[in-house]
Structure 1
Amino acid sequence: MDMKLEVVVLPVADVDRAKAFYTERLGFRLDADFPVDDGYRVVQVTPPGSECSVIFGTGVTAAEPGSLRGLHLIVTDIEKAVVELTERGIAVDGPFRDATGVFHHAGTEGRVPGADPQRRSYGSFAAFTDPDGNDWFLQEITQRAPGR
């Protein structure tokens, strides 16, 4: 049985501020904005090139705004992506790699400034937060591991 990740629910405090950040600043596509009533509103956005969308709104999650950690957006050129987001006014930490060369630690532990010296896929990262403090990572992948 195939299973595909379709939606990630993001906890935000201000729906209109989040909508502007994701669509205007990050360039995500606005798929839907359903203001059902005062206590229930669903906004769905999709990152460029992604099959998985992000939903936020009012009454869609009990999680605290800004509590999501470790969301990853995949890019083919980490340095270009950092420049582009910075030009859009988004504060980006990176590029960096992890001291282990495997995957990044939680928080900022083990971060080594600069992209992976060999620019190996899966080895270079950058990080930013949305206006609520939800943590996002960029990860550079130029060649997928077998079976991916």
Structure 2
Amino acid sequence: MFRYIHSTGVVVDDIDAALAFYVDTLGFEKRIDNVVDGGFRFVTVAPVGGQTEIGFNPGNDGDTIRTPPIAFIVDDVNAACDLLRTKQVEITYGPADEAWGGRGAVFLDPFGNECYITTA
């Protein structure tokens, strides 16, 4: 069901400063830089040639839109959710079509951590 880890997230106070650090200082490449629902800027970086990306979650307050801290690539989001439900895993979002064109869902691990699943 799970193919690989797509991304993990870090909280940053300034997305442009984070981009400068990860791209200019560490030599990573910018993979995604899109504005989605409600003006939320979704940005990811990765080591050149790397598969797993780091997504930037802006701010530290409870009012800030946050993405789940880890995202997994699956072959079929609906089928993955169906299988997770058979294992009594709570799906808190989706499956749904996303503004960026993909399909996704969010489930909780036993400790309440959100995990995002999507297709490549």
Same fold (TM over 0.5): no
- The structure in which a higher percent of residues are helix is 2
- The structure in which a higher percent of residues are strand is 2
Larger radius of gyration: 1
TM-score with structure 2 setting the length: 0.44
